[in-house]
Amino acid sequence: MNFLVLIGKYFFLMKTVFSKPVKRKIFWKRVLEEIDGIGINSIWIVSIVSVFMGAVLALQVATNFESPFIPKYLIGFSTRETMILEFSSTVVCLILSGKVGSNIASEIGTMRITEQIDALEIMGVNSANYLILPKIIASVITFPILTILSIMLGIFGGYMVSFFTGIVAIPDYIYGIQVFFVPYNVLYSIIKMIFYAIIITSISSFFGYYTQGGALEVGKSSTNAVVASIILILIFNLLLTQLLLL
Amino acid sequence: MIEIKSVYKTFADKIVLNNVSTVFEPGKVTMVIGRSGSGKTILLKSTIGLSSVDNGEILYNNRDFFKSNIKIQRKIREEMGMVFQGGALFTSATVQENVIFPLDLFTDWTKAEKLKRVNFCLNRVNIEDANNLYPGELSGGMQKRVAIARAIVLNPKYLFCDEPNSGLDPQTSIVIDKLIKELTLEYNMTTIVNTHDMNSVMGISDKIYFLYEGQIEWEGVSDDIFNSENQNLNDFVFASEFFRKAHSSGTINGRMVKQ
Ligand SMILES: Nc1ncnc2c1ncn2[C@@H]1O[C@H](COP(=O)(O)OP(=O)(O)OP(=O)(O)O)[C@@H](O)[C@H]1O
Ligand SMILES: [Mg+2]
């Protein structure tokens, strides 16, 4: 029952979010701000995580496939495929839900409890639209770019580890990352990322927007936002994989 | 003019507004007084439509707010300025950005025109050289004054202030009170102030409503407030030692308060 009410409230909020902005110019200025806050500010964490993950993937594949019958280029190949299929979209988003999601929920939650949202409403601004829609748009624009970046940096991580440890000869690794390339998989990854972007930003905004009480409740909203985003990402990962890959 | 007609509001089982009717007139400072929890904020939030009511009407120059569609509601809201209990300045924006914000939204002025208006309003509330500071860098009194500047930047017809003096020292309170009074007269605004500060009541009120447990128990002007028969009002007014003494000595602000 409670759960259904929550879902109803979410879609009610989204209806308000997706309406016409007050002024175009102000709206796009907000989108740019959010591109900076949500996208640009996430580059560093995505980069670090991806380089390390690519390196570890290459190492693990190398230690597991020590048979002489398995060609070495598979190290490059599997590093690339894992990054594309799963890591650079789903795992990166699980991390981003912690960073971006909690940030959004606490920002909007604080605005709620300090009456800043009321102040917007009283000025005749659709506060949900003004605060939330730019976040959703910014994430839909930047998250796919982060995916591409993550894929490239993951492959680079594998390259670095091959270079320094010699687990695989560089030409083999280079061959591996080019062989059997299915461009559709990148598209699949980007489509997933767009869904995750909407999930993280809208769910976190939702929890922030309906915060009631004080600082403690802002903390709770932000925890709830992260937990809900993670669960939804996992569910959508399953659904979208069924739909897109089979 | 704002008319509130027989407004009821409940939270769960608790009645917080019980058949409240008031009239707020232009060019006047109307004060809603009452103890903490008596329903002042809820009444104000219902008046401006931030909180729904269970029953009753709220008319802005004969336009029924709750029966209007969202477009008209937003239109009416553009005519409102509000100073929230905590100031509610946008913490991620500078003083200038806070005050210019309504202008960005609702005017097509050039940047220079907007800045001129912003500086005029900031000047009006005696804030100088603070344009690029963030609200966190201002004192409570300055924040309140910036909030007033933001509230009046669009020349509102209606000004709402929720306890503009809470947390301020008596001298700063008087400055803010005078400002509210002057602005009301200058722009013929319909001003509504929530307060439990008797000094403000005596200082600037043109009309007073006393709210007790969600009901208007008394209405009148400051000259009559000491002579009421209402026990709850007397308890409220004479809670302060100062007013008790002043009352028994017979004068307040040089005014006779005893027949
Ligand atoms: N969201 C809410 N849910 C339930 N009860 C509420 C809610 N908001 C306010 N109330 C109740 O309504 C009553 C009136 O509250 P209100 O905030 O209007 O008081 P107030 O007169 O403004 O007090 P103060 O001077 O402390 O600001 C209080 O008893 C409060 O507990
Ligand atoms: Mg209050």
Q: Torsion-angle region of residue A38: left (phi > 0), alpha (psi -120 to 50) or beta?
A: alpha
8 A C-beta contact, residue A138 and residue A31: yes
Residues ≥6 apart with Cβ < 8 Å to B185: B27
Contact check, Cβ <8 Å, A119/B84: yes
pLDDT digits (tens, 9 = 90+) for A104-138: 999 999 999 999 999 998 888 889 999 999 999 99
Does residue B238 sit within a domain?
Answer: no
pLDDT digits (tens, 9 = 90+) for B140-181: 889 999 999 999 999 899 999 999 988 788 888 888 899 899
Pairing mode, if any, of strands B2-11 and B55-60?
A: antiparallel
Question: Pick from B109, B139, B155: which residue ends a domain?
Answer: B155
Q: How far is the CA of A181 from the centre of ligand 1 (A)?
A: 63
Q: How far is residue B238 from each of residues A106, A165, A192, B222, B229, measured CA to CA in Å?
A: 43, 84, 67, 14, 13
Question: Pick from B102, B123, B155: which residue ends a domain?
Answer: B155
Q: Are residues B99 and B196 in the same domain?
A: no
> With bands split at pLDDT 50, 70 and 90, how would you rate the model's confidence at B57?
very high
Arithmetic mean of pLDDT, B10-37: 93
Q: Is the pLDDT of residue B209 over 60?
A: yes
Chain A contact for B111 (CB, 8 A cutoff): no
Per-chain mean pLDDT for chain A: 92
> With bands split at pLDDT 50, 70 and 90, how would you rate the model's confidence at B259?
very low
Concatenating the DSSP letter of every residue in A12-52 gives HHHHHHSS--S-HHHHHHHHHHHIIIIIGGGHHHHHHHHHH
Q: Are residues B65 and B165 in the same domain?
A: yes
Q: Which of A123, A125, A127, A130 to mutate to test the interface with B (most CBs of B within 10 A)?
A: A123
Per-chain mean pLDDT for chain B: 89
Q: Are residues B130 and B182 in the same domain?
A: no
Amino acid A218 reads V
Q: Are residues B169 and B149 in the same domain?
A: no
Domain of B125? Answer: 93-155
Pocket test for ligand 1, best of B7, B13, B42 (most atoms within 8 A of CB): B42
Q: Are residues B22 and B145 in the same domain?
A: no
* End-to-end C-alpha distance for chain B, whole angstroms: 34
Backbone angles phi, psi at B58, to 5 degrees: -130, 115
Backbone angles phi, psi at A109, to 5 degrees: -60, -45
ipTM over 0.95: no
| Between A13 and B252, residue with greater pLDDT | A13
Contacts of A114 in chain B (CB under 8 A): 86, 88, 91
How many whole angstroms separate alpha carbon B79 and alpha carbon B87? 19
List for chain B the helix, strand, coil content (%; round to 5). 40, 25, 35
* Closest residue by CA, ligand 1 atom 25: B36
Q: Are residues B28 and B138 in the same domain?
A: no
Residues ≥6 apart with Cβ < 8 Å to A149: A43, A46, A47, A50
Q: Are residues B170 and B69 in the same domain?
A: yes
Of A23, A118, A124, the CB nearest to B74: A124
Q: The domain that contains B165 carries what CATH number? A: 3.40.50.300
Burial A196-229 (b: 16+ CB within 10 A, else e): bbbbbbbbbbbbbbbbeeeeeebeebbebbbebb
What count of CB pairs under 8 Å joins A to B? Answer: 48
Contact check, Cβ <8 Å, A114/B88: yes
pLDDT digits (tens, 9 = 90+) for A7-55: 999 999 999 999 888 788 889 999 999 999 999 999 999 999 999 999 9
Question: Pick from B155, B172, B203: which residue ends a domain?
Answer: B155
- Token pair belonging to A229: 């985003």
Q: Are residues B27 and B50 in the same domain?
A: yes
Domain ranges of chain A: 22-244
Q: Are residues B19 and B62 in the same domain?
A: yes
Q: Is the pLDDT of residue B257 over 60?
A: no
Arithmetic mean of pLDDT, B220-232: 87
Contact check, Cβ <8 Å, A119/B80: no
Does residue B233 sit within a domain?
Answer: no
Domain count, chain B: 2
Q: Are residues B13 and B120 in the same domain?
A: no
Contacts of B90 in chain A (CB under 8 A): 111, 116, 119
Arithmetic mean of pLDDT, B8-37: 93
> With bands split at pLDDT 50, 70 and 90, how would you rate the model's confidence at B254?
low
Decide whether any atom of ligand 1 lies within 6 Å of the B45 Cβ.
no
